[in-house]
Amino acid sequence: MQASRTGPSDGAASFPDILRDAGLYALVALGLCIPIVSFRTELSQNSALDLVPRWGLVAGLCAAVFVVRVLQRLVLARRDARKALTPSAHQATEAVHGEPNAGQRVSRLAVPVFVGFALGLPLIAVLATGGLSQSRYWIDLGILILTYVMLGWGLNIVVGLAGLLDLGYVAFYAVGAYAYALLSTTFGLSFWVCLPLAGLFAALWGMLLGFPVLRLRGDYLAIVTLAFGEIIRLVLINWVDLTGGAAGISSIPRATFFGIPFTAGDDGFAARFGLTFDSMHRNVFLYYLILALALLTNAVTLRLRRLPIGRAWEALREDEIACRSLGINTTTTKLTAFALGAMFGGFAGSFFAVRQGFISPESFNFLESAIILAIVVLGGMGSQVGVAVAAIAMVGGPEMLRNLGFLKAIFGEGFDPSEYRLLLFGLAMVAMMVWRPRGLISVRVPSVALKERRAIAGSLVREGHG
């Protein structure tokens, strides 16, 4: 059980100790690999299972665990040694007014740089890849990331500001998508009419689902919202008459440029604006559409934070009982958070439907909720910039796996890096939480100040319980 004793005190552990500890880890890894890695079950011709031994892989994994553990211990030892020399700001007896550190100075520049980059991405992509159609991959990736940024920002209202743990956020994404799909296919309404309707519809669902769970706290709230999310998905699968069941809804009207379709015909977008037709026009338009929606979400959230409702949300996250003693109606305050978060989820859902042209319940499973929540928590709850960075890391990072084709040279032809996308995603979630439990940007910026706005350390900020 020696391996179980790690802490700040063993920062000065000797190298043989570290090796022994890493050896134990490797041994445990060996135990974990038996038999799930060491034998692969293969269906044979007569549909019985055959076992294929793979001890080489097991050895490789154990070695990897060994190396990673040694490196981790060395890094930790250095960090602890450094920490021992610098007292934390919380040990100070008087208020510390430090100059902003490098990271904080960079983060001041970060927002304009981000927005500028986001605005210019299509141009950059076209220039870098040498043509509109060649830039498709990057623009599509941009759309994907921005969708998650928007979802993250929407959920941030519920989780980050109001402190209400929602594991079923994807339900509102689904409601928005289906609302758009059904309204446009049955009534032929245009995107710009459907978008607000879908948002309102999702907000209504947010209130409906929010109402019964108001009394619940923490993990229980998370589980009930998860249950609601799953119920909505299962209903979408089983209510075939309305939703088309598992097959979903296809041929959803595509996005138009304010009424002008992106078609090759005479009244198409290209012809009207004197351009040569390119199917990428639509993608670029969609890119700017989701960027605008995401920025709208951000602007509204930032504005709300400075309004009494936003302060009430944050106060609710800090201490619900104190809120009630100050005359704040916690029921309506929570419901508005649910409704607004759901509304932005609904907007994002409409966008998803109009972009894909096809939706099915498959796209709205629990994993999506988990990804969005992970983005919010990893970003640092309440931090808009953090959420954007986390969305890029969590969604963009796994995408990069597709580009690691060279690994085939190492692991053989059958190796497909994107197969490991979710595996690494799960590992990354654990690693990030262990590394930064409070997320990338854990400080809170006050909504108002008399003299200067100083960031509040994350350790003081509560994460909410309701």
Binding residues for another protein restricted to 38-97, rule: CB under 8 A: 39-43, 47-49, 51, 95
The structure tokens listed for 283 are 């993608």
Give the distance from CA 142 to its chain's centroid: 14
Q: How far is the CB of 196 from another protein (least distance, A)?
A: 15
Nearer to another protein, 51 or 111 (CB): 51
Q: How far is the CB of 216 from another protein (least distance, A)?
A: 6
Q: How far is the CB of 267 from another protein (least distance, A)?
A: 36
What is residue 135's DSSP assignment?
Answer: G
Cα distances (angstroms) measured from residue 156 to each of 25, 65, 184, 297: 37, 35, 29, 10
Q: Find, among 431, 321, 386, the residue nearest to 156 by Cα.
A: 386
322 binds another protein (CB under 8 A): yes
Tell me which stretch binds another protein (CB under 8 A): 130-138, 179-187, 257-265, 427-435.
Answer: 427-435
Q: How far is the CB of 137 from another protein (least distance, A)?
A: 24
Q: How far is the CB of 38 from another protein (least distance, A)?
A: 8
Site for another protein in 149-178 (CB under 8 A): 165
Q: How far is the CB of 464 from another protein (least distance, A)?
A: 9
Distance between CA atoms of 99 and 412, rounded to whole angstroms?
52
Residues 6+ apart with CB under 8 A from 31: none
9 binds another protein (CB under 8 A): no
Q: Find, among 315, 329, 307, the residue nearest to 447 by Cα.
A: 307
Give the distance from CA 263 to its chain's centroid: 33
Q: How far is the CB of 368 from another protein (least distance, A)?
A: 12
Nearer to another protein, 77 or 223 (CB): 223
Neighbours of 100 (CB within 10 A): 12
Site for another protein in 188-207 (CB under 8 A): none
321 binds another protein (CB under 8 A): yes
Q: How far is the CB of 67 from another protein (least distance, A)?
A: 16
- Binding residue for another protein, selected from 64, 74, 128, 427, defined by CB under 8 A: 427
- Would you put residue 248 in left (φ > 0), alpha (ψ -120 to 50) or beta? left
Beta partners for residue 154, in sequence order: none
- Binding residue for another protein, selected from 64, 247, 307, 400, defined by CB under 8 A: 307
Nearer to another protein, 142 or 210 (CB): 210
- Binding residue for another protein, selected from 82, 105, 303, 402, defined by CB under 8 A: 303
Return the residue matching tokens 């609601």: 228
By the 8 A CB rule, do 166 and 373 touch?
yes
Q: How far is the CB of 78 from another protein (least distance, A)?
A: 18
132 binds another protein (CB under 8 A): no
Tell me which stretch binds another protein (CB under 8 A): 266-274, 283-291, 356-364, 457-465.
Answer: 457-465
Residues 6+ apart with CB under 8 A from 7: none
Tell me which stretch binds another protein (CB under 8 A): 194-202, 255-263, 399-407, 433-441.
Answer: 433-441
426 binds another protein (CB under 8 A): yes
Site for another protein in 222-281 (CB under 8 A): 222-224, 226-228, 230-231, 234-235, 237-238
Give 391-413 as a DSSP string.
Answer: HIIIIIHHHHGGG-TTHHHHH-T
Site for another protein in 325-354 (CB under 8 A): 325-330, 336
Tell me which stretch binds another protein (CB under 8 A): 115-123, 278-286, 308-316, 404-412.
Answer: 308-316
Q: How many helices (H) and strands (E) does the chain have?
A: 18, 4
Beta strands in 273-313 (DSSP E): none
User: Is the preceding peptide bond at 35 cis, omega within 30 degrees of 0?
Assistant: yes
Q: Which helix (H) or strand (E) holds 52?
A: strand 49-53
By the 8 A CB rule, do 354 and 330 touch?
no
Helix %, strand %, coil % of the chain (to 5): 70, 5, 25
- Binding residue for another protein, selected from 12, 28, 127, 275, defined by CB under 8 A: 28
Site for another protein in 362-381 (CB under 8 A): 366-367, 370, 373-374, 377-378, 381
Q: How far is the CB of 206 from another protein (least distance, A)?
A: 16
Q: How far is the CB of 308 from another protein (least distance, A)?
A: 4
- Binding residue for another protein, selected from 170, 181, 213, 342, defined by CB under 8 A: 213
Q: Find, among 369, 445, 436, the residue nearest to 165 by Cα.
A: 369
Judged by CB under 8 A, how many residues of this single chain contact another protein? 102
410 binds another protein (CB under 8 A): no
Q: How far is the CB of 415 from another protein (least distance, A)?
A: 11
Distance between CA atoms of 7 and 77, rounded to whole angstroms?
10
By the 8 A CB rule, do 197 and 183 touch?
yes
Cα distances (angstroms) measured from residue 436 to each of 21, 89, 439: 23, 18, 5
Nearer to another protein, 120 or 426 (CB): 426
Nearer to another protein, 43 or 102 (CB): 43
